[in-house]
Structure 1
Amino acid sequence: MQISLLQCQSSKDVAANLAFIDLQLKLLTRQEGEPQLVVLPECCLMFGGHEQQQLAIASDDNNSELKHSLAELAYQYQVYMVAGTIPITAEDGRVYSRSYLFDDTGDTLGSYDKLHLFDVEVADNTKSYRESDTFCPGERITVVNTPFGNIGLAICYDIRFPELFRALRLAGADFIALPSAFTKVTGEAHWQTLIQARAIETQCYFLAADQWGQHNQGSRETWGQSMIVDPWGRVVAERKTGLGWVQSTIELTELKKIRQQIPVVLHNRFAAPDLIKN
């Protein structure tokens, strides 16, 4: 299977962001006969303004034009797609940060709502992040079966919570896709370390697609370094800066070998993690 992560520099202009993704899919290098999995970053269609701007473009699952547009691209270019994140209305007036997995006909195979919300202080221009003012946390984990392996879904700040990733492994994940918009400050300090640690712990391939650079005249700055990491913790492919694709062809043979040689799931003496409902 060929895996392609798209590193973006998304803005507040939905149409421009969608056009960029469309163009990059048109330019995507493909190996004939290989199924293609594309992973887009968090907030791929709207990023860099106040979080409440997400409310203006949100709608419910059935009527989301953003969802429809990304599904149409998956169909048009015949790719399986982890479609970054888009805002989907929640019952309490906020929105879910939802990631969809589409097949190559544009059908929805599964979705995931970000569990851990980024309410933190960072030493950058934004300083205080309060995702919970706008976003509603999810209540479930997601692992989706595909013809080329089981794909677990997580989003950005989730990477700091290893219990989620152990739960995804126990639910059968072979790959874990991580659409992200890591800040430059936290990314420089922790991004690669966290991804490699989670890959080693879970013995899964990690597919981490990140935003990069300055957004909307420098109001936000993200780290980049989109990367594919194997179950041994090796960086298979990465793009540290700039826009475009990170690609690799992957077989599950290596994953099966590592799990057989070091059967951590069988050796673990701790109870399986249990998701706390809000």
Structure 2
Amino acid sequence: MRVALFQSCTGIDPEANAAAIVSAIDQAKAGGADILFTPEMSGLLDRDRTRAADNLADEAHDRVLAAVRAAATKAGIWVHLGSLALSGERRDGRLVNRGLLIDDAGTIRARYDKIHLFDVDLPSGESWRESAAYAPGGQAVVAGTPWGRMGLSICYDLRFPDLFRTLSDAGAVILSVPAAFTVPTGRAHWHILLRARAIEAGAFVIAAAQAGAHADGRATYGHSLVIDPWGDVLLDMQGENGVGFADLDMKRVADVRSRIPVLAHRRPIAPATLA
């Protein structure tokens, strides 16, 4: 299995963002990839919610999603569109942060709404309140693919190992973690958390990331990664935006899991009691 990752610096113009993803799809296909992975918020990254509202739509009318589905069909390649901000999907009016797995015929095979929302105050002075505009998802998602089952997550989900245990218990051998990590948290935790998730699950981890100084004023860490089930880094795109490639030997999953059978050794644990 050959994977391609699109590391981008997504801006505030959905048309430009769509064009960049379509170009990445063509590059991925030309490079022999079976599937392209894009970062969180691939269609629009705009912290000005008033301005962003004019560029948001529901899934059926999202311009970026339509362009990606058409390009995937034309190129004959799968795409994991890391996530889009979508409006009009909920009765309460809140947005969803949704990842979509699209096959080589342009069909949406799976949808995942981000469960854990990024509400933090960082020592750097950055403050984020994702829950002020977004509703959390409530369902873990594992999707069937020609290469094995894929578990879906988004960015801040990375910090919650119970989600990844749920995904690997459901048979996931590939874990996708599209992200727009901040620079301070990326420097501190990005590599170690992704390697830990791969080792715990005995699975490949594919993490396409945003990178650079964005038009809305934020900065993201980059370092899109592909990690094998042993925790070895197969690809690190550093701070360079564009399309990167990695080859996955899916037999590696069974090999690693046979050597250290942590999935077979998992046991249900009752809630802790106070002694």
Q: Residues 52-102 of structure 1: CA distance to partner in whole angstroms, max 9, x if unpaired?
A: 554433333333333222211211221111112112232211111000000
Q: Give, in angstroms, the shift of residue 259 of structure 1.
A: 1.0
Kindly tell me the number of residue pairs found equivalent between the two proteins: 269
- Match for residue 26 of structure 2? 26
Letter in 1 for 2:97: S
Residues 22, 67 of structure 2: 8 Å contact kept: no
Residues 121, 127 of structure 2: 8 Å contact kept: yes
Query: Closer, same or farther in 2 for the Cα pair 1:37/1:27, shift >3 Å?
Result: closer
Q: Give, in angstroms, the shift of residue 29 of structure 1.
A: 6.2
Q: Give, in angstroms, the shift of residue 124 of structure 1.
A: 4.0
Query: Closer, same or farther in 2 for the Cα pair 1:188/1:51, shift >3 Å?
Result: farther
Instruction: Report sequence identity in percent.
Output: 35
Q: What SS class does the counterpart of residue 60 from structure 2 fall into?
A: coil
C-alpha separation between the residues in 1 aligned to 2:37 and 2:211? Answer: 15
Query: Closer, same or farther in 2 for the Cα pair 1:270/1:52, shift >3 Å?
Result: farther
Q: Which moved more, 1:198-207 or 1:248-257?
A: 248-257
C-alpha separation between the residues in 2 aligned to 1:94 and 1:87? Answer: 10
Q: Residues 163-190 of structure 1: CA distance to partner in whole angstroms, max 9, x if unpaired?
A: 0000000011010111100001100110
Q: Which moved more, 1:96-105 or 1:58-67?
A: 58-67
Letter in 1 for 2:232: R
Q: What SS class does the counterpart of residue 138 from structure 1 fall into?
A: coil
- Match for residue 153 of structure 1? 152
Residues 12, 49 of structure 1: 8 Å contact kept: no
1:31-42 superposed matches below 5 A: 36-42=34-40
C-alpha separation between the residues in 2 aligned to 1:28 and 1:57? Answer: 27
Q: TM-score, normalised by structure 1?
A: 0.91
Q: Residues 200-252 of structure 1: CA distance to partner in whole angstroms, max 9, x if unpaired?
A: 001110000000010117x1000000010001000011100121122111121
C-alpha separation between the residues in 1 aligned to 2:218 and 2:118? Answer: 14
- From 244, 247, 250, give the equivalent of 1:249: 247
C-alpha separation between the residues in 1 aligned to 2:68 and 2:255? Answer: 35
- From 81, 84, 90, give the equivalent of 1:83: 81
User: Is 2:220 the partner of 1:202?
Assistant: no
Letter in 2 for 1:167: T
Which segments of 5 or more consecutive residues in structure 2 lack a partner in the other structure?
none
CA RMSD of aligned residues (A): 1.9
C-alpha separation between the residues in 1 aligned to 2:9 and 2:206? Answer: 18
C-alpha separation between the residues in 2 aligned to 1:188 and 1:50? Answer: 25
C-alpha separation between the residues in 1 aligned to 2:35 and 2:181? Answer: 22
Q: TM-score, normalised by structure 2?
A: 0.92
- Match for residue 263 of structure 1? 261
Query: Closer, same or farther in 2 for the Cα pair 1:188/1:87, shift >3 Å?
Result: same
Query: Closer, same or farther in 2 for the Cα pair 1:52/1:172, shift >3 Å?
Result: farther
Q: Give, in angstroms, the shift of residue 48 of structure 1.
A: 3.8
- Match for residue 12 of structure 1? 12
Residues 29, 77 of structure 2: 8 Å contact kept: no
User: Is 2:124 the partner of 1:100?
Assistant: no
Residues 177, 207 of structure 1: 8 Å contact kept: yes
